[in-house]
Amino acid sequence: MTVRRIMGIETEYGISVPGEPTANPMVQSGRVVTAYATQVGMRAARAGWDYEDEAPLRDARGFDMARGAADPSQLTDEEDPTLANVVLTNGARLYVDHAHPEYSSPEVTTPRDAITWDRAGESVMREAVRLLARPDIPGVNLYKNNTDGKGASYGTHENYLMDRATQFSEIVRHLIPFFVARQVMCGSGRVGLGVESREPGFQLAQRSDFFEVEVGLETTLKRPLINTRDEPHAAADRYRRLHVILGDANHCDVTNLLKLGTTSLVLGMIEDGAINEDLTVHKPVEALHRLSHDPTLRETVEVAGGRTMTGVQLLWSYYELADKWLSQVYDGELDPDTAEVMQRWEQVLTKLERDPMEAAREVDWVAKLKTLESYRERGGLDWSDHRLRAIDIQWSDVRSEKGIFNKLAAAGRFEELIDADAVRRAVTEPPSDTRAFFRGTCLAKFPEEVAAASWDSVIFDVGSQPSLQRVPMLEPARGTKAHVGPLLERASSADELLRLLADDRPATT
């Protein structure tokens, strides 16, 4: 019952080929993945992804969608031999998803670790761009954003492991109002209003205009505020993986901390039955759009009981509920991760309420708006000016020397929570306190003997066995350095590791 839980971030990166607007994005995304995997000499570049436990059409409301009724983009359990799919030594997955290169971080247990391995993904993509920047072939540009400004949107998804016993209806009831308001402190900012950005202006979040319904299974059409995919990648009788598709790709460490941390706390309250105030928002999809379109933060939404609240006021309500819950459960003695999230939550809401521009060092959309306003002032630019849209895209360029955010960050314009050395290590090393440690370490130590892997399995191909050997990992909090580190150190081969695991099974499975 703290901010700590198994969590992770998946980010699809925007992609373009300079001078070739008609270049096939799927092919180019495959080049990105292959270039990086080949450079680091990964056996995983030749191995497959283990799809055995994938179930993308299973709905948390108690049914499975018929395959014939599903959009092809939902069939993520079917291997496409034309697409690159790599497991990295840091436990992450790097692959092509919906014509975009995607980096799915390894499982972590704290918001700070989520930031660390998310930023490691930025480094991976930056290196791939560098590797493809050759004079003899067209290079690519990658963007950590969520829309091309012309009507296409691609996701940054969060994953949170929850107690299966929690009623899904309670998750929906209490999470929708929070998600409607969360963009106020977690949006990445965007030039243009509407799906195709046809109306001039600036809004808080990149993804909000693309959501159409409250609850649903889809992720690329009729996007829902609450995604119902019931694919835990863990012991299904114990866990639920809440798949959140509403968030933006964040650059600011504080924003990312708040996105992961406050959501984890709200989920903790839901699991504990601790939300005793009805904060239901009237017409939540419409409310989501309205709040996103108002960078003054004065827009209000109707809440249960006929009340009206601004997004900031709604977030204050959740903050106060969390503060009361934590004080009752922990009597004021919070762990450092939870204390940090609560402190940052209060500080950022205070700044946003007083004057949003005060949060320019912490909040993505505020930082972007401040920069854009300086361009507008210098050039006398209206929000309809195409140059502002170009700046918006350039903001998220992953290259250190081209991305506007990256250049401002190097100049010390934003509050940084994770140092560069920690990010550099996370590019190749897995977190030590989840099953990602076992997955990543096996890839690093026995690259020629790992045939395939997934979130909940590693499959070995060893000479002493007539068939492939699958090691299941249905408990995400096991397979850690504490659990299997000594065995991995002792094993000189995957064959020996399998024997050691068999002998030590009660302690490691």
The residue assigned the tokens 């030594």 is 89
Rounded distance between C-alpha atoms, residue 24 and residue 467, angstroms: 38
Instruction: Give me the long-range contacts of 128-137 (CB less than 8 A, separation at least 24).
Output: 128/32, 128/33, 128/35, 128/36, 128/101, 129/32, 129/398, 129/399, 131/35, 131/36, 131/39, 132/31, 132/32, 132/35
Q: Are 86 and 95 in contact (CB under 8 A)?
A: yes
Active site annotation includes 335: no
Torsions phi, psi for 471 (to 5 deg): -105, 110
C-alpha R_g of the chain = 22
Rounded distance between C-alpha atoms, residue 451 and residue 7, angstroms: 26
Pick the catalytic residue from 50, 97, 209, 253.
97
Q: H-helix or E-strand containing 420?
A: helix 420-428
* Residue of 40, 132, 133, 28 whose CA lies nearest to 87: 40
Instruction: Give the CA angle between residues 82, 131, 424 to the nearest 5°.
Output: 105
* Residues noted as catalytic: 97
